[in-house]
Structure 1
Amino acid sequence: MRIGYSLRDITPEYNMELVGFIPSRMSTGIHSKLHVKVLTLTDGDKRYAWMVTDLLGNDLYLKEQILSQLEAKGYHYDDFQMFSTHTHSGPRVLNESQYYEQDENGPERQYFDRLVSLCVDAFIESNASLEPFKVRIARSMMEGFQSNRINQKYEDDKEVLVVEVILPHETILLYSFGGHPTILDRNSTLYSSDYVGEVDRVLQETYPFTMFFNAPCGDMSTRFYRKESSPAECRRLGTIAVNCVKRAVQEMGDEIEISKYEVHNYNFDIQLKKFDTIDEAKRKVKYAQDEYNEALAHNIDGTELRIIKSRLEGALFNEHLSKGFVGKTVKGFDYSIIKINDYDVITLSSEVFSELVKPLKEKGNTWLISLGNQYQSYLPNKRAFDIGTYEALSSIYERGEGERLVKEIESNR
């Protein structure tokens, strides 16, 4: 097998809406640049790709446009795994209907076209640098950085995976852990890759290329560790994160050749929840707003206030969903099982709860990556629905569908 890599700067050239919080914000500048990164792997006449964008989420329309342009240029891919880092400080990626609703000269449509072009350029360059390679792998823990964002006492998954890709003249690093890049919150109006950019900035003092894959992250964040929302705090927590990654690198095993690479793609019909009527959703917003106002009046401490505020945010998003999903009952959910030597890499298309899917790792030699292909929604466990968390209110899925998906994945391994 051979591998090649590339990246492009996808930071917008003008101010656009930043997505990730309600309401969205208009950008005013740059904290750190946004990138697209691409890996191309070839095995004989087979060609595979992994792509990550520093964006909240991607859309299948983006994938279709990239593949269409690559085919036109003579590059056929047998499989293309697409992910986002999930920064909440970047522009929206349009879906097909949104694209054609925009004026041809509209900023979001122009950005989408530029994004496709830059991604295609990165793919082509990655093909020009194909070389034989070996890998070294290690797993460790992310300490003092993130936890279960609902309750620190709940189970979470703080594991980090690091993979050195050893090329003839250099070594690059792939790394993965689950979390929300939301140190810069709704008050920030700067384009930013958040802590991912900080970790990359330090790692690139050692490696010419690094690539982050967000593991299941729906219930993971820096909520109970961050002191404020600021570029300085992003750097402080980013330093903690990069030190955890560096410790993992020190535990690398022996060099390994990749002799097996098999991709199995699946689409699972997942049940959507019964969405509130608009009036019901508005009542929930009022209740959550009253709860938040009362907490403010009683000077509730910061951590508890943030949890109460998250319920208000969930109610607001639930109101948004009630306007768009009424009448729909089923949605396709993409996942893949990629067998690399004796490793299973399972890719999932939502903000999946780490606690929910952690049992899939019990067999060992398994890693999970979230936010694949089409950005969907939170996929919580049953408990989140039972206690009415922000994530459950924001989810489009029915209670128990996450557990059913885990059984489905296990049956296909």
Structure 2
Amino acid sequence: MTLLCGAAKAMINPPEGTLLAGYLAKRPAEGVHDPLFAKVLALKIQNKTLLMISLDLVSVDSRYVSELRNEIHDTFQIPIESIMVHSTHTHSGPGGMTDENSIVYKAFSGIWPPYVESIVKDHYEKIKNAVHEALSSLTPCTVRYGKGKALGIAANRISIDRHFEPDLNVIIFERITGKQIIVYHFACHPTIMHADNLLVSADFPGAANKYLEQNEEVEMSLFLNGPSGDVSTRFTRKDSSFDEVERMGRKLSECVLSTIKASTKLSVNHLDSNIVPITLGPRRFETEDQLRGSLLKVQEEYKHGKEKGLTASELRRIESKIEGLTASINLVNKLQNVAQIKSEIQIVSIGDMYLATVPGEMFYETGWEITNEFDEVCEVLLLGNTNDYIGYIVPEKFYEDNSYESSMTLLEKGSTEYIASQIIKNVGGMKHVSNQRL
């Protein structure tokens, strides 16, 4: 059976004045530093088609994804379960895509600007045009897979001593013309640019894509972010500047190209996909008085840190605790009437390569534990911020550490472990079905 692939991209820059999303600050865009893209990879074997859509946005929620999937299905007759929508998680892209009735918007309205229908509809039209172009360009291809390291780009942002492996996964779809469509997977918050930036940017993955696509043989490169809830450039970046975005992007692109050189052929004789609904409980917080007590302690820690001359990255870690506890105080009453949080995971197989989606910001440690379940059996890549956004997905043991991430999670303890179990169960089930085909 012959695998066909097609690719296309569309620019999705917001209008000037659009509020940027991702930080606790009002940030009207003053212009575009580098373009945002919607990128589409189409794969087909016989009558099975898969669409992988990667968007340079901070997140996509269930409403955005549901409406987009329905429009693509109605236009191209592609099944809903065969459409995956990923956000790269740049914090220098537009807000306005989050449903104002969602729990995430209600909890964090300071981070998520109000819903802007014109922006969303513009995205849908541009994405559908890119889908049409990708489907129209389907040609036979071969597949290669490489696994390498991208050193010096990311680290655990809560503590540099916490476990993190800078794994870089690269899938290369090579057309019969020799043109390559590169899909690369790496876990890291694209947050080199901080809250004072008012220019639209895809951050360092955008720079990496630019450098990759300057190669004559590369038709398109598509970035997929991994389980990066507690991973960023906090301890690796020199500063928060566009020069640093370029430096990190070039470094990542060089790692991708090195990994391609060491890649090996991947046999793909089938495609599969499945959506699994999940239901989670909302978090129950400490009392407001307890949280305010914790906040005072961390504020004192920050004050003493400045007096001791801590580095900017160390101060930023403490500052993020203050932000998280402040958010928790604001959340205490907002979740009282929430009974459950509904979302989904999606399992996609490309031959014996499995992509498992996560509807938010999963910690690296959990992703690592999931992939280790399948070590030497098959490759499993965890994609964060995909098909929905329900916030930080924190391991139970970290709920009491007062980190920004643990303070901000909307999910009850045990939610991470439940999501992980569902991913392991459903990847295993799809793998079993695949083995029966052989």
TM-score with structure 1 length normalisation? 0.91
- 1:267 is paired with a residue whose SS is strand
Q: Determine the structure 2 residue equivalent to 1:80.
A: 83
In structure 1, C-alpha distance between the alignment counterparts of 2:352 and 2:155, rounded to whole Å: 29
For residues 76 and 240 of structure 1, do their structure 2 counterparts lie closer, same or farther at Cα, with a shift above 3 Å needed? Answer: closer
- Aligned-CA RMSD value: 2.3
In structure 2, C-alpha distance between the alignment counterparts of 1:107 and 1:376, rounded to whole Å: 17
1:38-53 equivalent positions in 2, closer than 5 A? 38-53=40-55
Matching residue within 329, 335, 338 for 1:319 = 329
1:286-325 equivalent positions in 2, closer than 5 A? 287-325=297-335
In structure 1, C-alpha distance between the alignment counterparts of 2:321 and 2:283, rounded to whole Å: 18
Q: Determine the structure 2 residue equivalent to 1:177.
A: 186
In structure 1, C-alpha distance between the alignment counterparts of 2:234 and 2:55, rounded to whole Å: 23
Q: Determine the structure 2 residue equivalent to 1:194.
A: 203
Matching residue within 20, 26, 30 for 1:28 = 30
Matching residue within 219, 242, 245 for 1:231 = 242
Q: Determine the structure 2 residue equivalent to 1:102.
A: none
Matching residue within 90, 93, 97 for 1:90 = 93
In structure 2, C-alpha distance between the alignment counterparts of 1:84 and 1:387, rounded to whole Å: 28
- 2:346 is paired with a residue whose SS is strand
Matching residue within 372, 379, 382 for 2:396 = 382
More displaced, 12-21 or 279-288? 279-288
In structure 2, C-alpha distance between the alignment counterparts of 1:398 and 1:258, rounded to whole Å: 39
Contact 1:8–1:118 (8 Å) recurs in 2? yes
Matching residue within 148, 152, 161 for 1:153 = 161
Contact 2:6–2:139 (8 Å) recurs in 1? yes
In structure 2, C-alpha distance between the alignment counterparts of 1:93 and 1:42, rounded to whole Å: 33
In structure 1, C-alpha distance between the alignment counterparts of 2:410 and 2:200, rounded to whole Å: 28
More displaced, 137-146 or 397-406? 397-406
Contact 1:156–1:219 (8 Å) recurs in 2? no
Deviation at 1:74, TM superposition (A): 4.5
Q: Determine the structure 2 residue equivalent to 1:392.
A: 406
For residues 228 and 367 of structure 1, do their structure 2 counterparts lie closer, same or farther at Cα, with a shift above 3 Å needed? Answer: same
Whether 1:144 and 2:158 are equivalent positions in the alignment is no
Whether 1:411 and 2:411 are equivalent positions in the alignment is no
Matching residue within 208, 211, 221 for 2:232 = 221
In structure 2, C-alpha distance between the alignment counterparts of 1:405 and 1:71, rounded to whole Å: 27
More displaced, 130-139 or 235-244? 235-244
Q: Determine the structure 2 residue equivalent to 1:103.
A: none
In structure 2, C-alpha distance between the alignment counterparts of 1:143 and 1:12, rounded to whole Å: 33
For residues 320 and 3 of structure 1, do their structure 2 counterparts lie closer, same or farther at Cα, with a shift above 3 Å needed? Answer: farther
Whether 1:339 and 2:341 are equivalent positions in the alignment is no
In structure 2, C-alpha distance between the alignment counterparts of 1:353 and 1:124, rounded to whole Å: 35
In structure 2, C-alpha distance between the alignment counterparts of 1:320 and 1:55, rounded to whole Å: 25
- 1:366 is paired with a residue whose SS is strand
In structure 2, C-alpha distance between the alignment counterparts of 1:329 and 1:69, rounded to whole Å: 30
In structure 2, C-alpha distance between the alignment counterparts of 1:161 and 1:335, rounded to whole Å: 20
Q: Determine the structure 1 residue equivalent to 2:72.
A: 70
In structure 1, C-alpha distance between the alignment counterparts of 2:399 and 2:264, rounded to whole Å: 41
Whether 1:131 and 2:139 are equivalent positions in the alignment is yes
- 2:165 is paired with a residue whose SS is coil
TM-score with structure 2 length normalisation? 0.86
Identity across matched positions, percent: 24
Deviation at 1:162, TM superposition (A): 0.5
In structure 2, C-alpha distance between the alignment counterparts of 1:319 and 1:42, rounded to whole Å: 49
Contact 1:175–1:211 (8 Å) recurs in 2? yes
Q: CA deviation digits over 1:166-187, x for unaligned, max 9?
A: 1121111110000000000011
- 1:233 is paired with a residue whose SS is helix
Q: CA deviation digits over 1:115-156, x for unaligned, max 9?
A: 111111111111111111111000011111111111121112
Matching residue within 166, 171, 174 for 2:174 = 166
In structure 1, C-alpha distance between the alignment counterparts of 2:343 and 2:28, rounded to whole Å: 31
Contact 1:83–1:213 (8 Å) recurs in 2? yes
Amino acid at match of 1:376: I
Q: CA deviation digits over 1:58-114, x for unaligned, max 9?
A: 122222332333344343335111110000001114244469xxxxxx992221221
For residues 229 and 368 of structure 1, do their structure 2 counterparts lie closer, same or farther at Cα, with a shift above 3 Å needed? Answer: same
For residues 410 and 280 of structure 1, do their structure 2 counterparts lie closer, same or farther at Cα, with a shift above 3 Å needed? Answer: same
Aligned residues: 407
For residues 319 and 386 of structure 1, do their structure 2 counterparts lie closer, same or farther at Cα, with a shift above 3 Å needed? Answer: closer
Contact 1:38–1:51 (8 Å) recurs in 2? yes
More displaced, 366-375 or 382-391? 382-391
Instruction: Show structure 2 runs of 5+ residues with no match.
Output: 103-113, 429-438
Q: Determine the structure 2 residue equivalent to 1:7.
A: 9
Contact 2:227–2:363 (8 Å) recurs in 1? yes
More displaced, 192-201 or 34-43? 34-43
In structure 2, C-alpha distance between the alignment counterparts of 1:400 and 1:138, rounded to whole Å: 34
For residues 55 and 164 of structure 1, do their structure 2 counterparts lie closer, same or farther at Cα, with a shift above 3 Å needed? Answer: same
Q: Determine the structure 2 residue equivalent to 1:203.
A: 212
Deviation at 1:301, TM superposition (A): 2.8
In structure 1, C-alpha distance between the alignment counterparts of 2:338 and 2:364, rounded to whole Å: 27
